[in-house]
Amino acid sequence: MGFLNNVFKTIKGYGNEANDAFVDTQGIRIMEQEIRDADENQRKAHESLTEVMAEQKGIARKVKDLQASVDEYSEAIGKLLDAGNEELAMETAEKLAELETELESNQAVLDSYNEQVKELKMIIKDSAKQMEALKREVAIVKSTEAAQKASEATAAQFSGTNSSLRSASASMERIKAKQQKRKDKMKSARELAKETSGGELKDKLAEAGVIGSKSSAASILDRYKKV
Amino acid sequence: MNNSLEKVQAALADYTAEDGSPFNVTATNNDDISMLTIIREDIEEFAILATASDSQLLFNVPLFDKSQIVDGQAPALNQMMLELNMAMPLSSFALTGANYSIFGAMSVDSEASQIQEEIVVLSENIMDALEVCQNYLIQGTSD
């Protein structure tokens, strides 16, 4: 089964049925345990892959050697027949028949090893993807929770209440208003710049709150005293 | 802290969006979680939460939860999000449990400049995403 299918089942499996929210601590703990188990399985799968690959290598070497012998004997038979040595050619052919049979059966074993290695690699890759996906899911849930707690704490600090969920649309309106205010401020600064010049402009900008109040010798001295 | 998150933190130090808004980054590290809270000054209500797994950096911005959707409007909202996913540059809509968010994911091997681009674009997508969702949300007056 594809890894996404498994991930979906796991997430749904630990979800809180009541509000469809995957946020309860118990669910996360179980899922983290599952990730650890999967990690362990992954380690074991790697071990068996290593073993299978070692065997695969051994068989591959054997197949290569057998193939070399088959080539060698085939060539010899040709030469013997050319030289008219039919008796030795027959003997060689008998040996070649044995070798070819052995080659064939070893090749079949090698093919199955190759197939097994491919399969194991796929399984390992899929389960790694699944684990990563679950880890991300857990991280998202935890980070969202942590951020919510932090913003609730901030809200409580300012309003004295542990106010419930922040309203997204209200927040958006606030941000828009803030951005508009900033734009208006910049716009009025530009307009003022057009109308006035020099010291008069600075005064007006300070008055509009766009820049700080006028710099004076006293304020500069203050600045140095603070350092 | 996780190496990948340190890389993100370094990439955002002294970095500002085009309009001059800086990104304030706070790291949280405990047994339970390693994360960065990235806040763009002009939209501080919506934080970008950065986490890292073995191969991926994940930047997630929780927008609202299911309780804020107008009754019966969830299917229409979900469909709209799917239909707009490809139109939204570098980010996608997501639903984790009851929380709707937009997020961007990238390889842990990403360069600092790519991380900066990801964060800036994601932060620019926040207001656009909220705006398009607003018709499906219960209108709030204040917290």
Nearest to B42 by CA among B65, B16, B66, B14: B16
Which residues constitute the domain of residue B59? 3-136
**Is B87 domain-assigned?**
yes
Last residue of a domain, which of A132, A158, A184? A158
pLDDT attached to residue B77: 97
Co-location of A143 and A180 in the same domain: no
Co-location of A147 and A181 in the same domain: no
Co-location of A154 and A180 in the same domain: no
pLDDT tens string A82-111? 999 999 999 999 999 999 999 999 999 999
| More reliable by pLDDT, A19 or B127 | B127
Least confident of A20-29, A49-58, B6-15, B105-114: A20-29
Class of residue B132 by CB neighbours under 10 A (exposed 0-12, middle 13-18, buried 19+): middle
**Is A200 domain-assigned?**
yes
Displacement of CA A6 from its chain's centroid (Å): 17
- Indicate if the pLDDT at residue A194 is higher than 80: no
pLDDT band at A126 (very low <50, low <70, confident <90, very high): confident
**Is A202 domain-assigned?**
yes
Which residues constitute the domain of residue A111? 3-158
Co-location of A37 and A134 in the same domain: yes
The Cα angle at residue A55 between residues A61 and A115, in degrees rounded to 5: 95
Mean pLDDT, residues A127-134 taken together: 88
Mean pLDDT, residues A133-144 taken together: 89
Return the CA Rg of chain A: 39
Longest dimension (CA), chain B: 45
**Is B124 domain-assigned?**
yes
Quick count: other Cβ atoms within 10 Å of Cβ A98?
11
Last residue of a domain, which of A158, A187, A204? A158
Co-location of A11 and A49 in the same domain: yes
Residue A152, domain CATH: 1.10.287
Quick count: other Cβ atoms within 10 Å of Cβ A38?
19
Overall domain count for chain B: 1
Co-location of A115 and A153 in the same domain: yes
Co-location of A130 and A194 in the same domain: no
**Is B142 domain-assigned?**
no
**Is B143 domain-assigned?**
no
Interface contact flag, A140 B53, Cβ < 8 Å: no
Give B102 to chain A, closest Cα distance, Å: 12
Co-location of A69 and A138 in the same domain: yes
pLDDT tens string A147-193? 888 877 766 665 544 444 568 888 888 888 888 888 888 888 878 77
Residue B126, domain CATH: 3.30.1460.10
| Chain A residues closer than 8 Å to B131 by CB | 172
pLDDT attached to residue B63: 95
Co-location of A125 and A203 in the same domain: no
**Sequence-separated (6 or more) residues with CB below 8 Å from residue A169:** B64, B68, B130, B134, B137, B138, B139, B140
Which range, A31-35, A193-197, A207-211, is most confident?
A: A31-35
Q: Does A170 touch chain B (CB under 8 A)?
A: yes
Co-location of A186 and A134 in the same domain: no
CA distance A148 to B130: 18
Interface contact flag, A139 B35, Cβ < 8 Å: yes
CA distance B36 to B49: 6
pLDDT attached to residue A198: 65
**Is A96 domain-assigned?**
yes
**Is A165 domain-assigned?**
no
Interface contact flag, A146 B63, Cβ < 8 Å: no
**Is A164 domain-assigned?**
no
| Chain B residues closer than 8 Å to A132 by CB | 53-56
Q: Does A129 touch chain B (CB under 8 A)?
A: no
Nearest to B123 by CA among B8, B38, B53: B38
| Chain B residues closer than 8 Å to A148 by CB | 62
Displacement of CA A72 from its chain's centroid (Å): 51
Q: Label residue A150 left, alpha or beta by phi (over 0 means left) and psi (-120 to 50 means alpha).
A: alpha
pLDDT tens string B16-28? 888 778 899 999 9
pLDDT attached to residue A160: 47
**To the nearest whole number, what is the mean pLDDT of chain A?**
83
Chain A residue whose CA is closest to B68: A167
In terms of residues, how long is chain A?
227
Interface contact flag, A182 B139, Cβ < 8 Å: no
Co-location of A71 and A27 in the same domain: yes
Contact B34, B5 (CB under 8 A): yes
Co-location of A114 and A200 in the same domain: no
Mean pLDDT, residues A186-208 taken together: 74
| More reliable by pLDDT, B81 or A125 | B81
b/e for A157-175, b at 16 or more Cβ within 10 A?
eeeeeeeeebbbbbbbbbb
Interface contact flag, A20 B55, Cβ < 8 Å: no
Quick count: other Cβ atoms within 10 Å of Cβ B82?
11
Last residue of a domain, which of A158, A189, A211? A158
Q: Does B19 touch chain A (CB under 8 A)?
A: no
Beta bridge partners of B137: B69
pLDDT attached to residue A162: 40
Terminal Cα-to-Cα distance of chain A (whole angstroms): 68
Nearest to B100 by CA among B119, B73, B118, B120: B73
Interface contact flag, A169 B140, Cβ < 8 Å: yes
**Is B123 domain-assigned?**
yes
The low-confidence residues of chain B, meaning pLDDT below 70, are 141-143
Please give the structure tokens belonging to residue A39: 């990690």
CA distance B90 to B110: 14
Q: What is the share, in percent, of chain A residues with pLDDT greater than 90?
A: 33
Overall domain count for chain A: 2
